Amino acid sequence: MVRNVLAELLLPFLGTSLGAGCVFFIKSGLNRAVQRSLTGFAAGVMVAASVWSLLVPAMEQSADMGRLAFLPAVTGFWLGILFLLVLDRAIPHLHQGTNQPEGPHARLKRTTMLVLAVTLHNIPEGMAVGVVLAGWISGNSGITAAGTLALSLGIALQNFPEGAIISMPLRAEGTGKGRAFLYGVLSGVVEPLAAMLTILAAGFILPALPYLLSFAAGAMIYVVVEELIPEASVGEHSNLGTLFFAAGFAVMLALEVALG
């Protein structure tokens, strides 16, 4: 069990690192169409994971509440939204395709704020993996080993383009290949850390597992709506972001059914 947990904790981080490694093999930066496509795909995976891997299990575990079975899911969902809202306001960061930093004023380099933006939305992904693994470890939550693998694999898949999206533009702006790769890798370090902290927290408050599942879902949906969808749609009108959103959603749904 320990080996499986460690592997699934590191799988999303591996996806980010492999994506960041594209900087060594692709000479030119990612064009806008590719960035839109990859961002849309990541958004689709995150929405599907939020619904099928987090919110649905949260409501299933609260079924004994009868008509109020939705309450833990709704409460946790809103707490996750508010948590990311606070982080969004408290941490200076810069989204791809914009020149206007968000959060408090800080004299940080552009590259640092770009990395912080990706790091910020990797936190809920790590929490999602951690809370699902915690449910599986508990043995009485209805979450299966295959279900945890599906979520980890899905997030790893969407982390691959995210790693490329952070390292390739940094390289295009003049950052060395090694440093651009390092920044991409560092943006993903927060995921296994957030996952481990969530597992530890769930061990102390296991009855709150439905709230933690929906909390992670709310945080992920915040990232999708506040960051990924706008980035996939900015600039000249294109349906690429929408089509790849649907592709990401379908891939995650297929993984959930096939493995879960």
- Span 15-29, pLDDT tens digits: 899 988 988 887 666
Joined together, the tokens standing for residue 179 give 């440093």
Q: Is residue 104 pLDDT above 70, yes or no?
A: yes
**For the chain, what is the mean pLDDT?**
83
The pLDDT, as a whole number, for residue 34 is: 80
Kindly state the average pLDDT of the residues 1-13: 79
pTM listed for this prediction? 0.84
Give every CB contact of residue 70 below 8 A, 6+ residues apart in sequence: 59, 62
Q: What is the pLDDT of residue 120?
A: 80
DSSP letters of 48-112? HIIIIIIIHHHHHHTGGGGGGTHHHHHHHHHHHHHHHHHHHHHS-B--TT----BSS-----HHH
pLDDT at residue 202 tops 80: no
* Residue 142's pLDDT band (cuts 50, 70, 90): low
Query: How does pLDDT run across 54-95, given as a tens digit for each residue?
Result: 999 889 888 888 888 889 999 999 999 999 999 888 887 666
pLDDT score for 47: 93
pLDDT of res. 257: 80
- Report phi then psi at 107, rounded to 5: -90, 70
Residue with tokens 């790590």: 126
Q: CA-to-CA distance for 196 and 6, rounded, in angstroms?
A: 9
pLDDT at residue 140 is higher than 60: no
Report the alpha-carbon distance of residue 79 to residue 100 in Å, rounded: 27
Report whether pLDDT(206) > 70: no
The H or E element that residue 32 is part of is helix 32-48
pLDDT, residue 55, reads 92
Extents of the domains making up the chain: 31-259
